[in-house]
Chains A and B, each alone.
Chain A
């Protein structure tokens, strides 16, 4: 009687340890990308961290159903997007306008940093339907097909949105440079 019980518990705890290991690997491998993606969705670091926490906690609960790392990535993104949508159902947060806030204060003032800040503001100004596929491509290295699958869109739509996203960034950047050039000149 007793030895059976002990045996069972031992195997349960080894399953548990296994799950724990998989979860740690998942967190270490993907938390940065997931956080960044969350940040670009919500434009706020604290909220992005909250959503990331929720996402990984949910991931833990259904970790057993997960097959490989590629699936894990797309799965986490799906949870994240759902969490984000839910947040909007619950209440509309007061989002700070990105133009008013210096996102990154560390090592400012170098030419590159100024350019990055400018670029971030431009990227944040993109509408969500353009920003989302662009970030999937940039952060996760997704192909057009993969983005289409993730966002449940047709591939042509995705390619058009990616083109428009880059085009808008490019034009905004050129305009800003022109403006600066004129000021400097």
Chain B
């Protein structure tokens, strides 16, 4: 280790144990090491600035507060999560329940007729076959022959699905007919509620729901319609 290297090493780290060997008996080197060690002592003292009073306590306090807030937030989170799950379950079960209530086309048909009252049944127009067919075209269907007077033919909302609502002349009175696009989750069945009888059938492109207050009219209307309504492929 030459003189320059030695000085560099001492200035880099005066407390390095390796230096003792390099210093040896050289008085000049010993004096230099001593000088730099003294400088280091001064630097150490000068760097040792006083720490603000109570810093340690403030650090501990801040952490305690942080933990406290965290805990509170966590319990809030749990409460919120609980409330959310309850609301979720409630939502699911209500939907399920509603779904079940109206999961039958024939029941829905009766409900529709009941709800509507005289609005459609009271109509007494004479709608031509071509007018009906213009509306049936939407479902890809066509009525080939006249099946009696048609009092009413309009699109309606059948549980949020656009459908065709017809009121036709049956043997014993007016018969309500709904032509509904195929809907998933609906049973094709029959239902009776009060004086109302209803049956649903699947045709090739749509379902047919017939509602009448005379049971035999339902079956007859069904026979008539299945012969006279055709769906294009």
User: Is there contact, CB below 8 Å, between B13 and A115?
Assistant: no
Q: Does B27 contact A (CB under 8 A)?
A: no
| Residues A139-185 near B (CB distance < 8 A) | 139, 143-144, 159-160, 162-163, 166-167, 169-170, 173
Mark interface residues in B104-126 (1 if CB within 8 Å of A CB, else 0).
00000000000000000000000
Residue in B11, B14, B43 with the greatest tally of chain A CB atoms within 10 Å: B43
User: Is there contact, CB below 8 Å, between A23 and B49?
Assistant: no
CB contact between A169 and one of B14, B43, B52 (< 8 Å): that residue: B43
Mark interface residues in A82-110 (1 if CB within 8 Å of B CB, else 0).
00000000000000000000011010000
Instruction: Report the bound CA distance from A119 to B9 in whole Å.
Output: 22
Which residue of chain B has the shortest Cβ distance to A59 in the bound complex? B63
Indicate whether A36 sits within 8 Å of B51 (C-beta atoms), given known contacts A28-B56, A60-B63.
yes
For A40, the chain B residues whose CB sits under 8 A away are 47
| Residues B53-69 near A (CB distance < 8 A) | 55-56, 58-60, 62-63, 66-67
User: Is there contact, CB below 8 Å, between A53 and B62?
Assistant: yes
User: Is there contact, CB below 8 Å, between B13 and A144?
Assistant: yes
Q: Does B44 contact A (CB under 8 A)?
A: yes
For A56, the chain B residues whose CB sits under 8 A away are 59, 62-63
For A106, the chain B residues whose CB sits under 8 A away are 50
Indicate whether A135 sits within 8 Å of B47 (C-beta atoms), given known contacts A35-B55, A163-B11.
yes
Which residue of chain A has the shortest Cβ distance to B51 in the bound complex? A32
For A119, the chain B residues whose CB sits under 8 A away are 42-43, 46
Which residue of chain B has the shortest Cβ distance to A23 in the bound complex? B63
Chain A residues within CB distance 8 Å of chain B: 23-24, 27-28, 31-32, 35-36, 39-40, 45, 49, 52-53, 56-57, 60, 103-104, 106, 115-116, 119-120, 123, 134-135, 137-139, 143-144, 159-160, 162-163, 166-167, 169-170, 173
If A27-B63, A60-B63 are given as contacts, then 11 extra A-B residue pairs at C-beta distance below 8 Å, sorted by A number, are A23-B63, A35-B51, A36-B49, A56-B62, A60-B66, A137-B13, A159-B13, A162-B11, A166-B36, A166-B43, A169-B43
